[in-house]
Amino acid sequence: CGRPPPPPPRRSGMVFGHGYTYSGHPVACAVALKVLEIYDRDSLIETVRTRLGVHFQSHLAGLRSSFPNMVGEARGLGLVGAVELVADVPTKRPFAPEAAAAPLVARLALERGLVVRPLAGDAVAICPPLISTTEQLDTIFERLADAMAQAERELAPWRAK
């Protein structure tokens, strides 16, 4: 276009991060291929689709009936799920940001040995490993329900606001 090229960037001492040690690395690729082989060998995806996912989703749906005053929605697929926490279920009015409902549930769950992830919009994500057993899924939801029961009591003052 007839213009001279821009001057080269000045060296600022900053690193230009454009890749990672393991990106396309043969060892990482070999591990990924082995993981896919194990998924196939152990029928992990089929087991999640036909048995574990059904069990997980049944528990997830049960949270809505167990906490009719706090769970606005329970959604998921397979072994991935989320529970939306709301101050008023019929209107889906959210808790005030200061209530930090999802972080509260996550903290209370962690105190019970369960790691869940608080998401924006006061949802709590539950994503157990593909190699979970039905007994482990039962334990996950027992601990989550216990944490949610305590959170429901602690969040009661925020419902009226």
Neighbours of 44 (CB within 10 A): 16
pLDDT of 136 reads 98
In sequence order, what E strands does the chain have? 71-77, 80-85, 117-119, 123-126
Strand locations in 13-70, DSSP E? none
* 58, pLDDT greater than 60: yes
What distance in Å separates the CA atoms of residue 56 and residue 125, rounded to the nearest whole number?
13
- Number of neighbours of residue 79 by Cβ within 10 angstroms: 21
Q: How confident is the model at residue 55 (pLDDT cuts 50, 70, 90)?
A: very high
Nearest to 89 by CA among 155, 133, 23, 35: 155
Cα–Cα distance between 12 and 26 in angstroms, integer?
A: 33
Over residues 134-159, mean pLDDT = 97
pLDDT tens-digit profile of 68-85? 999 999 999 999 999 999
- Greater pLDDT, 26 or 43: 43
Dihedral, CA of residue 58, residue 64, residue 65 and residue 70, to nearest 10: 160
What amino acid occupies position 102?
A
Q: What is the mean pLDDT of the chain?
A: 91
Can you give the pTM of this predicted structure?
A: 0.81
